[in-house]
Amino acid sequence: MPVTRTFSIIKPDATRRNLTGAVTKMLEDAGLRVIASRRIHMTKDQAEGFYAVHRERPFFSDLVAFMTSGPVVVQALEGEDAVKRNRDIMGATNPADAADGTIRKTFAESIEANSVHGSDSDENAKIEIDYFFKPEEVVG
């Protein structure tokens, strides 16, 4: 499997409960390496731009409000088949559907406050990493 990159966000429900380390440990134990990390409080503009693909979805404005409700940790991750590896350890969007041992099954509060974001393709991973990090901030 080639080593690739993906983009992760530890969401406000997780930072509020002091789970940054616990979530990151699950990512690392799954074979992912944190190659960039920053704690930020997203602006409304940043969150709307990041989730622009979901603009027409009924939950869009709630999602933007949630993602700007507290600090998040944005991360670039590297590992073999990183996008799929991260999606596997994250678990299903709705924690009620997530498999045992996944981050969302372990920590998520709801389908919205589901603790983590992960890119869904290599193409989007690059777009999302570039949205939050300058090239020199990503150190593999």
Catalytic positions, please? 117
H helix intervals, 20-102: 20-29, 44-50, 60-67, 82-90
> Does 112 help bind ligand IDP (rule: CB under 6 A)?
yes
Kindly state the smallest distance separating residue 111's Cβ from ligand IDP, in Å.
5
CA dihedral 19, 13, 70, 136 (to 10 degrees): 50
Q: Which does 34 bind (CB under 5 to 8 A by kind): Mg ion, ligand IDP, none?
A: none
Q: Could you say which residues in the range 2-41 bind ligand IDP, by CB under 6 A? A: none
The Cβ-side half-sphere exposure at 43, using a 13 Å CA radius, reads 4
Q: How far is CA 131 from the centre of its chain?
A: 13
Q: Could you say which residues in the range 69-108 bind ligand IDP, by CB under 6 A? A: 93
Q: Could you say which residues in the range 106-125 bind Mg ion, by CB under 5 A? A: 120
CA 92 – CA 43 distance, rounded (Å)? 26
Q: Which is nearer to ligand IDP, 113 or 138 (CB)?
A: 113
Q: Which of 40, 45, 59, 123 binds ligand IDP (CB under 6 A)?
A: 59
> Does 61 help bind ligand IDP (rule: CB under 6 A)?
no
The C-alpha R_g of the chain, in whole angstroms, comes to 14
- Which residues would be at the binding site for ligand IDP (CB under 6 A)? 54, 59, 63, 93, 111-112, 114, 117, 120
